[in-house]
């Protein structure tokens, strides 16, 4: 093996080329040969975006094994005196002489310290990023990323190459990384077809076909061959970018032959779907179960179009409708239901979502075995996220007296940083749209708004905020993980003094069920003059990350301009059989979807409701009605007075 040094620029970044594999005996370019030798590559200095003079260096080496260099090893080593390393990258490029298709495998490994460390590997053409296999991804300690059959199409004269580097905010100010590019293959336009059958050698080799046989020896090797018996010959598979050895390349239940990619469903033999995308309309259903010429039956025969995410146009995509048992071909009303801010299935307010720190924004997730329907993925294990979902409200809560808020959540792989829930003043923040917080999202601080924050980095702690200030300090709590749990925020406010008492509770099951942990009880906020409001949830990841799904956001408000006060409007009695007892029926104004607690006492002097008898703590409002009645039986006939209270629990 011979080694020749090519170029050195600056003091602290290293680039090396290492040969590891042999060479094909055929005409196509395989490896860093035939014009792709390292001597033809260029390397830049290692620079941060605001640097003019580099504080690092680059170096390139070429290593030949049996006269070939089929794999390349790109390494860097940046070491600075303490205080972290701002983002630095170096480019390694070559100018193409021909139009070409370049395919390669890669591994990216290294160590960028621990605190808020990131690594990036990008593919560039003419100094522009066209793909980001590692998109400034969070790392902590050693990291490893890899990919196979990465493919890039370039034109003659294009400058093609790799950009690698990273950053950290650690006291250990070093970046060490290695990018190994292997199985490097180049098909130039008009070249590399040894048997002249119209199938590039590199394509035939990739799929185990002979590039020395045009089909005259074994038909399966030629353009008319069909080794997977899907009805699409090899030339058609090449043009469709499908696998000639798999009848259903994308595993969606349709053969490559019928997925013509035309965008129009004609019939089951010409579906117009993509043969390399299992869900052409991204609605959560495989193309193979969507056939608009059939009736809806179940999840295996949906009757929907594979080209329309919401076939019936009712505002809920087909995958979610199927997951909750609805017919996705018949539009159904999805109007809001009382109290439901969002359940992400078929009810809730309109919302706006936004990513204010980095992509991607949150996303809807179809129902699965663990969920009770679709839900919203606010955070995932990607660093530097700042995701918001902000809800509208059709109610006017001005003059409210108390409210109860509940949210189910699913947290997993929790490292950082947390989330916050805000009740935004509509007078200051409008009726819709995302509102930027002050500081970090997990602090839940917004001017002229009330909020509760849940920090998850290093420790789990909650805080209460009002009008842009943390008014509570942090209190620890136990965060349920890896299964659905819930949290509640309850506020009682004196409408004259605006003194509010806040309870914050965490539960290890959905909908305020399971074991409860009281984080705050009767925490007092003076002068909470919040009037009409709406809900916003926001979350953040930084150097570390977490998964957070949310669901079933419910807000019940008493008082307010658009709400009638809760009151008992009728009481009636009826003597029961035997003549010794009576049944007492009370009726109150109610809202569908709510549950109520009913208390009773013979003595009004028992002012503490904890001393009253609880008749029912989960009585559901009458469906489709504006009033609800409850009957207490067995009340002694001699009872001369009895008092009742109806509460929203």
Instruction: Considering only residues 608 and 636, tell me which one the structure prediction assigns the higher pLDDT.
Output: 636
Four-CA torsion 132, 134, 138, 142, nearest 10 degrees: -160
Q: Which residues of 297-325 are buried (b: 16+ CB within 10 A; e: fewer)?
A: eeeeebbbbbbbbbbbebebbbbbbbbbe
Strand-pairing partners, residue 405, are: 489, 555
Residue 462 lies in a domain: yes
Q: Which of residues 514, 531, 559 is at a domain's end?
A: 559
Same domain, 80 and 118: yes
- In tens, the pLDDT along 341-381 reads 888 876 677 889 999 887 678 888 888 888 888 899 999 98
Tokens of 422: 């805000």
Q: What does the pLDDT read at residue 72?
A: 81
Q: What does the pLDDT read at residue 70?
A: 64
Note the residue count of the chain.
649
Same domain, 228 and 288: no
- In tens, the pLDDT along 117-136 reads 889 999 999 999 999 999 88
Cα–Cα distance measured from residue 510 to residue 467, given in angstroms and rounded to the nearest whole number: 30
Q: Give 3-state DSSP helix, strand, coil % of the chain, rounded to 5.
A: 5, 45, 50
pLDDT confidence of 23, banded at 50, 70, 90?
Answer: very low
Q: What does the pLDDT read at residue 331?
A: 76
| Mean pLDDT in residue range 578-590 | 90
Q: Which of residues 271, 301, 334 is at a domain's end?
A: 334
pLDDT confidence of 332, banded at 50, 70, 90?
Answer: low
N- to C-terminal Cα distance for the chain? 79
Whether 402 contacts 491, CB under 8 Å: yes
Same domain, 402 and 519: yes
Residue 17 lies in a domain: yes
In sequence order, what are the residues at sequence separation of 6 or more whose Cβ sits closer than 8 angstroms to the Cβ of residue 405?
A: 421, 423, 488, 489, 490, 535, 553, 554, 555, 556
Q: Which helix (H) or strand (E) holds 203?
A: helix 201-206
Same domain, 398 and 466: yes
My answer on whether omega of the bond before 360 falls inside 30° of 0, hence cis, is yes
Tokens of 438: 């002050």
Cα–Cα distance measured from residue 122 to residue 132, given in angstroms and rounded to the nearest whole number: 4
Residue 52 lies in a domain: yes
Same domain, 329 and 399: no
Residue 275 lies in a domain: no
Whether 373 contacts 344, CB under 8 Å: yes
- In tens, the pLDDT along 472-518 reads 999 999 999 999 999 999 999 988 899 999 999 999 998 888 899 99
Q: What are the backbone dihedrals phi and psi of residue 235, each rounded to the nearest 5 degrees, phi first?
A: -65, -40
Same domain, 317 and 387: no
Same domain, 256 and 392: no
Q: Which residues of 430-464 are buried (b: 16+ CB within 10 A; e: fewer)?
A: eeeebbebeebbbbbbbebbbbbbbbbbeebbbbb
Same domain, 82 and 217: no
Cα–Cα distance measured from residue 58 to residue 76, given in angstroms and rounded to the nearest whole number: 8
Q: What does the pLDDT read at residue 362?
A: 87
Q: Which of residues 559, 592, 621 is at a domain's end?
A: 559
Question: CA–CA distance from 555 to each of 397, 436, 438, 500, 537 (Å)?
Answer: 11, 22, 24, 17, 13
Smallest Cα–Cα separation from 644: which of 561, 591, 588? 588
The residue ranges of DSSP E strands in 531-592, in sequence order, are 533-541, 547-559, 568-575, 581-589
Residue 276 lies in a domain: no
pLDDT confidence of 19, banded at 50, 70, 90?
Answer: very low
396: pLDDT strictly greater than 60: yes
Smallest Cα–Cα separation from 462: which of 525, 490, 504? 504
Residue 355 lies in a domain: yes
pLDDT confidence of 25, banded at 50, 70, 90?
Answer: very low
Show the domain range for 223.
193-261
Strand-pairing partners, residue 104, are: 150
Phi-psi region of 12 (alpha: psi -120 to 50; beta: other; left: phi over 0): alpha
In sequence order, what are the residues at sequence separation of 6 or more whose Cβ sits closer than 8 angstroms to the Cβ of residue 53?
A: none
Same domain, 308 and 398: no
Whether 122 contacts 529, CB under 8 Å: no
Q: How many domains does the chain have?
A: 5
Same domain, 471 and 529: yes
- In tens, the pLDDT along 215-273 reads 999 999 999 999 999 999 999 999 899 999 999 999 999 999 999 999 999 999 999 99
Same domain, 520 and 381: yes
Instruction: Considering only residues 534 and 182, tell me which one the structure prediction assigns the higher pLDDT.
Output: 534
- In tens, the pLDDT along 533-565 reads 999 999 999 878 999 999 999 888 876 544 455
* Percentage of the chain lying above the pLDDT 90 cut: 45
Residue 272 lies in a domain: no
Whether 397 contacts 560, CB under 8 Å: yes
pLDDT confidence of 16, banded at 50, 70, 90?
Answer: very low
* Window from 244-253, 351-360, 409-418, 627-636 with minimum mean pLDDT: 351-360
Smallest Cα–Cα separation from 32: which of 102, 107, 88? 102
Tokens of 278: 């299992």
Tokens 């621990």, residue? 114
Residue 147 lies in a domain: yes
3, HSE (Cβ side, Cα atoms, 13 Å): 6
Cα–Cα distance measured from residue 298 to residue 332, given in angstroms and rounded to the nearest whole number: 17
Cα–Cα distance measured from residue 476 to residue 454, given in angstroms and rounded to the nearest whole number: 9
Question: CA–CA distance from 54 to each of 85, 115, 148 (Å)?
Answer: 13, 24, 33
Tokens of 219: 């038909």
Q: What does the pLDDT read at residue 17?
A: 33
446, HSE (Cβ side, Cα atoms, 13 Å): 28
Smallest Cα–Cα separation from 46: which of 5, 14, 4, 6? 14
115: pLDDT strictly greater than 70: yes
Same domain, 447 and 482: yes
Q: What does the pLDDT read at residue 596?
A: 84
């Amino acid at each position: 093996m011979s080694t020749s040094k090519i170029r050195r620029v600056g003091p602290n970044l290293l680039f090396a080329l290492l040969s590891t594999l042999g060479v094909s005996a055929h005409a196509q370019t395989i490896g860093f040969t035939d014009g792709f030798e390292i001597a033809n590559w260029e390397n830049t200095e290692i620079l941060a975006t605001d640097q003019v003079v580099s504080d690092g260096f680059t170096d390139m080496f070429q290593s030949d094994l049996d006269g070939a260099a089929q794999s390349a090893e790109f390494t860097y080593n940046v070491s600075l005196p303490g205080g972290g390393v701002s983002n630095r990258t170096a480019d390694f490029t070559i100018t193409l002489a021909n139009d070409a298709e370049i395919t390669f495998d890669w591994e990216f490994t290294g160590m960028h310290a621990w605190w808020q460390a990131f690594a990036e590997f990008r593919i560039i053409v003419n100094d522009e990023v066209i793909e980001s296999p590692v998109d400034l991804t969070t790392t902590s300690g050693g990291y490893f990323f890899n990919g196979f059959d990465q493919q890039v199409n370039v034109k003659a004269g294009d400058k093609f190459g790799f950009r690698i580097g990273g950053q950290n905010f650690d006291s250990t100010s070093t970046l060490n990384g290695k990018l190994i590019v292997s199985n490097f293959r180049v098909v130039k336009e008009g070249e590399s077809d040894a048997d002249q059958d119209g199938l590039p050698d590199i394509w035939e080799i990739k799929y185990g076909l002979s590039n020395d046989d045009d089909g005259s020896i074994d038909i399966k090797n030629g353009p008319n061959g069909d080794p997977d018996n899907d009805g699409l010959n090899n030339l058609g598979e090449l043009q469709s970018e499908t696998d000639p050895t798999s009848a259903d390349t994308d595993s969606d239940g349709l053969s490559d032959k019928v997925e013509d990619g035309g965008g129009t469903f004609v019939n089951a033999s010409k579906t117009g779907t993509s043969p390399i995308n299992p869900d052409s309309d991204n609605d959560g259903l495989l193309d193979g179960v969507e056939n608009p010429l059939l009736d809806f039956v179940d999840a295996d025969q949906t009757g929907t179009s594979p080209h329309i995410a919401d076939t019936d146009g009712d505002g809920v995509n087909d995958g979610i409708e199927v997951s909750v048992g609805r017919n996705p071909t018949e539009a159904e009303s999805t109007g809001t239901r009382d109290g439901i801010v969002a359940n992400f299935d078929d009810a809730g307010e309109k919302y706006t979502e936004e990513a204010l720190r980095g992509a991607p924004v949150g996303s809807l997730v179809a129902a699965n075995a663990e969920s009770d329907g679709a839900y919203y993925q606010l955070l995932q294990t990607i660093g530097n996220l700042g995701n918001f979902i902000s809800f509208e409200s059709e109610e006017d809560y001005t003059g409210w007296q108390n409210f109860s808020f509940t949210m189910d959540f699913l947290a997993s792989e929790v490292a950082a940083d947390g989330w916050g829930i805000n009740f935004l003043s509509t007078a200051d923040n409008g009726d819709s749209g995302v509102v930027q917080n002050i500081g970090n999202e997990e602090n839940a601080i917004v001017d002229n708004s009330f909020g509760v924050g849940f920090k998850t980095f290093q420790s789990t702690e909650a805080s209460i905020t009002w009008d842009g200030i943390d008014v509570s300090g942090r209190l620890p709590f136990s965060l349920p993980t890896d299964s659905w749990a819930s949290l509640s925020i309850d506020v009682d406010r004196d409408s004259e003094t605006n003194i509010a008492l806040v309870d914050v509770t965490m539960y290890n099951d959905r909908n305020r069920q399971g074991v409860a942990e009281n984080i705050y009880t009767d925490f007092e906020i003076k002068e909470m003059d919040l009037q009409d409001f709406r809900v916003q949830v926001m979350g953040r990841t930084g150097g570390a990350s977490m998964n957070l799904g949310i669901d079933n956001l419910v807000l019940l408000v008493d008082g307010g301009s658009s709400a009638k006060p809760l009151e008992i409007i009728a009481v009636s009695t009826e003597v029961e059989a035997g003549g010794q007892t009576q049944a007492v029926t009370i009726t109150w104004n109610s809202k569908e979807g709510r549950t109520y607690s009913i208390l009773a006492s013979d003595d009004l002097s028992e002012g503490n409701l904890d001393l009253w008898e609880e008749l029912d703590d989960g009585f559901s409002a009458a469906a489709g009605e504006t009033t609800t009645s409850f009957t207490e039986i067995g009340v002694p006939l001699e009872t001369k007075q009895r008092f009742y209270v109806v509460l929203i629990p």
